[in-house]
């Protein structure tokens, strides 16, 4: 058998292996850096060392999660691994923050170039439906092994998701004379202590041996499954892959919740977070905020 015939046979064999019935499952571990936030916590004179330690532990658990990606040749469903919360965990502001750190289950359809995210935010269910972001990946030619797969590096510059609190950066804390003069006035701007970058630089590693243009979260569009991705603050790394599992999973677009676009959902999150901040500062606690019907 000559080389050309062997190559053709290899392509045909691979195509059969990844037929329309093909399905896979990948486990991802995510970790978001909280160093800048912890510096602000540790510099707060009103917090005891015990309180700081408790906050640090809760933040660590909130920002380190495990997700499962079920995928086929066209679509995928990415959702957090279900775990029972320990007593006293995830309440109040921490629960609100966790609800927008990556959101709920994410369905992506590469053929239709669309996605749907089932989010529960402050007691209300939303279904965010929009077009998949166009990612202008730049291939670098670099490669490395991840879990036995030969992966290649690609980078892209993307707009920073406005409702994803993981992208927030604490301000540098430099003194502002105008703010010092108004120290007794109540702050009303939610973004006063944090800032959101307009863009993030993403680095991804994809495996051509798994020829699907899927990946974790809303990342997609590469000629192979994305096994690792980092935006400089959050890293998502695949720790396990099962191809053609015995137990198939139905990959269906979610339907429950009030349908909104990504822009509409971002505006709701920022507005409600601002209202919560104002109520806390006014001494009214969580308040009785309501969403419009």
**CB-based contact 219:204 (threshold 8 Å):** yes
**What percentage of the chain has pLDDT greater than the value 70?**
60
pLDDT the model gives residue 104: 85
pLDDT for 43 equals 61
Mean of pLDDT values over 18-39 = 76
In whole angstroms, give the CA distance from residue 79 to residue 252.
12
3-state SS record for 61-104: HHHEEEEEEEEECCEEEEEECCCCCCCCCCCHHHHHHHHCCCCC
pLDDT digit string, tens, across residues 51-110: 767 766 776 666 688 999 999 999 999 999 876 555 544 444 444 444 444 468 999 999
47: number of Cβ within 10 Å: 14
């Amino acid at each position: 058998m000559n080389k050309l015939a062997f190559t053709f046979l290899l392509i045909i064999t691979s195509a059969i292996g990844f037929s329309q019935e093909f399905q896979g499952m990948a486990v991802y571990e995510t970790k978001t850096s909280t160093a800048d936030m912890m510096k602000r916590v540790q510099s707060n004179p009103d917090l005891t060392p015990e309180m700081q330690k408790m906050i640090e532990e809760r933040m660590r658990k909130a920002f380190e999660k495990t997700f499962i990606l079920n995928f086929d040749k066209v679509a995928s469903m990415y959702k957090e691994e279900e775990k029972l919360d320990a007593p006293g965990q995830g309440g109040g502001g921490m629960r609100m923050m966790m609800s927008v750190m990556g959101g709920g289950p994410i369905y992506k359809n590469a053929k239709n170039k669309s996605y749907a995210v089932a989010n529960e935010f402050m007691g209300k269910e939303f279904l965010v439906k929009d077009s998949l972001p166009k990612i202008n990946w730049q291939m670098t030619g670099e490669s490395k092994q991840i879990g036995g797969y030969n992966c290649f590096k690609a980078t892209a510059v993307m707009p920073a998701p406005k409702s994803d609190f993981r992208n927030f950066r604490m301000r540098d804390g430099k003194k502002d004379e105008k703010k010092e003069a108004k120290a007794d006035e109540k702050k009303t701007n939610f973004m006063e202590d944090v800032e959101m970058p307009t863009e993030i630089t993403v680095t991804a590693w994809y495996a051509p041996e798994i020829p699907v243009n899927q990946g974790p979260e809303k990342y997609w569009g590469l000629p192979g499954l994305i096994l690792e991705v980092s935006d400089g603050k959050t890293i998502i790394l695949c720790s396990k892959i099962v191809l053609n599992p015995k137990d198939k999973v139905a990959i269906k677009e979610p339907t429950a919740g009030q349908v909104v676009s990504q822009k509409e959902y971002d505006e709701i999150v920022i507005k409600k977070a601002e209202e919560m901040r104002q109520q806390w500062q006014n001494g009214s606690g969580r308040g009785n905020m309501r969403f419009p019907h």
